[in-house]
Amino acid sequence: MKTLVTIGRGGTGKSSFTALMAKAFIEADKSPLLLVDADPDQNLGEMLGIDLKDVGKSTLADLIVDTFIQKGGTTVGVSPTDRIESRIWANGLYEGKNFDFISVGTKWVEGCYCMPNAALKAALEHLTKNYEYMLIDSPAGLEHLNRRIASKVTDIFEMLDHSKKSVEHAKRAFRIAKEVDMQFDNFYLVGGYRFPDELSSKAEEELKFKYVGKIVADPQVDDYVLNGNSLLDLPSDNPAFASVKAIMKATGYIQQ
């Protein structure tokens, strides 16, 4: 299984990048595919045309609270990991035609939920074995990801924008990944739609990570997001989508 994580500051274009990568995976017939929204803002679902409530599904946070905190106690003979895993299969996992989707949600944010965190992580580790590709939209920070979702990923895509802060964000994210012992094969820089392309070599030089391309700024993407349309329905020749496909080609995920 390959796990791709998108991180970066708010508004840099992480969620739209994740949705467009999903579109490219789908068009290239790469499956099974799991999409994970680990952003408390929860806008990846909308960009994929999914409303969890409408389809009777809950976020992982809601399932955790319901299973371990509200219901409390223990079910004799069933481990916390098995309990949460079966709840995710039944009540958390959205199963679409070309991909599945889960959302982490916001309800349980901090506090020492050590047991739920560990149970969730073990459950997800087991559940995600069924997929070939997993895409995670994760601005929440790598320490949270590491603690709750996954300690091992293939690629981290750091989305840059035009601010100096996004360079700082990349440095900090890389340092935290090391500190929390997150395993990854590649740490890539992606120029967000507001990133000036001419800064790519400077960013590469300063950060020492590979710059894999820039997302084209495109009014149609903005329009789709604004109107709550699924980015999966963008025309195949959309320029922003083409730039995402170029990045996936550069990183070896698709051929053309």
Which residues are near ligand ADP by CB under 6 A?
8, 10-16, 43, 193, 215, 217-218, 221-222, 225, 240
Q: Which is nearer to ligand ADP, 23 or 121 (CB)?
A: 23
Q: Which is nearer to ligand ADP, 12 or 128 (CB)?
A: 12
Q: Which is nearer to Mg ion, 40 or 239 (CB)?
A: 40
Q: Which is nearer to Mg ion, 80 or 192 (CB)?
A: 192
**What does 240 bind: Mg ion, ligand ADP, none (CB cut-off 5 to 8 Å by kind)?**
ligand ADP
- Closest contact distance (angstroms) between CB of 6 and Mg ion is 9
Name the nearest CA neighbour of 217 among 186, 192, 181.
192
Residue nearest to Mg ion (CB): 15
**What does 221 bind: Mg ion, ligand ADP, none (CB cut-off 5 to 8 Å by kind)?**
ligand ADP
- Closest contact distance (angstroms) between CB of 139 and ligand ADP is 6
Task: Give Rg (Cα) of the chain.
Answer: 18
- Closest contact distance (angstroms) between CB of 38 and Mg ion is 10
* Angle, CA of 7, 202 and 173, to the nearest 5°: 25
**What does 16 bind: Mg ion, ligand ADP, none (CB cut-off 5 to 8 Å by kind)?**
ligand ADP
Q: Which is nearer to Mg ion, 14 or 87 (CB)?
A: 14
- Closest contact distance (angstroms) between CB of 134 and ligand ADP is 18
Would you tell me which residues interact with Mg ion (CB under 5 A)? 14-15, 39
**What does 218 bind: Mg ion, ligand ADP, none (CB cut-off 5 to 8 Å by kind)?**
ligand ADP
**What does 131 bind: Mg ion, ligand ADP, none (CB cut-off 5 to 8 Å by kind)?**
none
**What does 10 bind: ligand ADP, Mg ion, none (CB cut-off 5 to 8 Å by kind)?**
ligand ADP
DSSP labels, the chain: -EEEEEEESTTSSHHHHHHHHHHHHHHTT--SEEEEE--TT--HHHHTT--TTTTT---HHHHHIIIIIIS-S--TT--HHHHHHHHIIIII-EE-SS-EEEE--SSS-SS--HHHHHHHHHHHHHHGGG-SEEEEE-TT-HHHHHHHT-SEEEEEEEEE-SSHHHHHHHHHHHHHHHHTT-EEEEEEEEE-TTS-GGGHHHHHHHH-SEEEEEPPP-HHHHHHHHTT--GGGS-TT-HHHHHHHHHHHHTTS---
- Closest contact distance (angstroms) between CB of 212 and Mg ion is 19
Q: Which is nearer to ligand ADP, 35 or 119 (CB)?
A: 35
CA distance linking residue 100 with residue 76, whole number of Å: 31
